[in-house]
Structure 1
Amino acid sequence: MRKLVTGLAGLALVAFAGAWALSPVFAMQALTRAAEQGDEQALERLVDFPAVRQSLKDELNARMMAEMRAGDSGVDPAWAGLGMLLGPAIVSGAIDAVVTPQGVATMVRTAEAPEPEDVLNRPEASPGKTEDDVRKSWTYRGANRVEVRLTTTDRPDQPLILNMDRQGLFGWRLVEIDLPDA
C-alpha cells in the first residue's frame, strides 16, 4: 500500500512539473488560435495591452533618439531637436493605434509589425487563415518569463520576439514585443 501511495504521489509530481513547464507552449498556442480566429476576448485575456504598449513606446523612442543623436541622417540639428521633442508624442499615438487586438493578431499571424494605416482600416480577421511560413521557437528566460521568437522563411534573421510572463501557476500573458531591427 505504501509503494502505491508513493508511486501515485511521484506520478502526480511529475504530471504537475510537466504541466508547469509546458504551460507557456499551451498559452502561445491559445494566442495563435485567438489571432487566427480574430477572437478579441481571448486576446484581451492573453495580452497585457498597457504593458505591451509601454514596452513598444520605450523601444521605438530609444531607437528614434539614437538615430537623431547619431547625426547621420543629414537633418539640420535644429529640426532634429524639434523631432526629439515631438517624436515621443507621435510614437505614443502610433503605438496606441497599432497595439489593439487586431494589431497583435496581425503580428502573431505574420511575424511582422503592422503598418498603422492597416490597423486603422481594421481589416476583418480571416478565421482559420495564417501565414504558413511563420516559425515559432520558445526559450525560457527565467522561471516566470518565456521568449517566443516568430520568424518567417524569407526573414529568418529578423525575428519578432514576444515575451510572456507567468500569471499564477499555469497562466501566461504577453507583456512585451521586441520588433525586428529595420
Structure 2
Amino acid sequence: MADSRRLKALGWIAALVLLALLAWTASGPWRAVAGIREAVQAGDARALARHVDFPALRASLRPQVQDRIVRAAGVDAQSGAFAAFGLTVATGLAGGLVDAMVTPTGLAAIMEGRKVWERAANVPPPSRAGTSAAPEPVPAPRLRFESFSRASATVSLDDGDELVLVLTRHGLQWRLSDIRLPPA
C-alpha cells in the first residue's frame, strides 16, 4: 500500500515537472522578445547577443536585401553586360552591408530607429511625434507559434507595414533567427 502511494506521488511529481517544463518552453518566445527589448533599451550588446542567432539572421536577411536591390534595379539593369556587372557588384555589397548591420550594435540601432553610426557615436534615438521619449524597440508584438520550435512576433511599423521577427527554439532557449522584411 505504501509503495503504491509512493509510486502515485512520484507520478504526480513527474507530471508536474513535465508541465512546468512545457510551460517554460512555451513562454520562451515572450521571454526572448522581452529580453531583446530590455537589452536594446539598456544598450547592452552582450545581453542582446544572448537572444539573437546572428549567423542565421545574416543568412536570412542577405537574400532579402539582394532581392530588393535586383527588383529596384529593374529589368533594364540586367539587359546589358555592364549593367549586369554593376548589379552583381551591388548585390555583393549588399551582402557585406547585411554582415555589418547584423551585429549587436547594428541590430539595436535598427530596433531603436537609428542608424548604426548614430548609435556608435551615442546620438540619442529619435523620439516619437509629440513626445520626448525614445521609441520602444519591438513595440507590442503579436506572437504566434508556427511550430513547436518556431514562433513569430509581428510588429506594426509607423508607416503601416509589418515586420516579422522569427524566433527559433534551440533546446530550451528561444533566439531571434530571422527577420522578414515588409514588402518593398
Question: What is the CA distance between 1:19 and its match in structure 2?
Answer: 1.1
Residue of structure 1 equivalent to 2:164: 161
Deviations along 1:31-73, one digit per CA (max 9) or x if unpaired, are 11111111111122221222212221111112222344544xx
Confirm or deny: 8 A CA contact 2:110 2:116 kept in the other structure.
no
2:47 corresponds to which residue?
42
Q: Percent identity?
A: 29
Residue of structure 1 in register with 2:179 after alignment: 177
Q: Is the 8 A contact 1:164 1:176 kept in 2?
A: yes
3-state SS of the aligned residue for 1:162?
Answer: strand
Q: Are residues 1:131 and 2:135 paired?
A: yes
Conserved in 2, the CA contact under 8 Å of 1:32 and 1:109?
no
Equivalent runs, 1:1-182 vs 2, <5 Å: 1-2=5-6, 3-71=8-76, 77-78=79-80, 80-110=83-113, 118-121=115-118, 122-124=120-122, 130-132=134-136, 134-152=139-157, 154-156=158-160, 158-168=161-171, 170-182=172-184
Number of corresponding residues: 169
Over aligned residues, Cα RMSD in angstroms? 2.7
Deviations 1:96-143 (A, max 9, x none): 232221221133345xxx5xxx213424387xx752492211121211
Distance 2:78 2:151 in 1: 42
SS at match of 2:140: strand
Instruction: Answer yes or no: is the 8 Å Cα contact 1:68–1:80 preserved in 2.
Output: no
Contact 2:70 2:91 in 1 (8 A): no
> TM-score of the superposition, structure 2-length normalised?
0.76
Which amino acid letter does the alignment assign opposite residue 90 of structure 1? L
Structure 1 runs not aligned, ≥5 long: none
CA change 1:81–1:130 in 2 (3 A) is same
2 CA distance for matches of 1:40 and 1:58? 25
TM-score, normalization by structure 1: 0.77
Could you tell me how far apart the structure 1 residues matched to 2:123 and 2:46 are?
14
On the 8 A contact 2:150/2:168 being kept in 1, the answer is yes
> Does the CA-based 8 Å contact 1:44-1:101 persist in structure 2?
yes
RCO higher in structure (CA 8 A, sep ≥6): 1
Q: Which ranges in structure 2 are unaligned for 5 or more consecutive residues?
A: 125-132
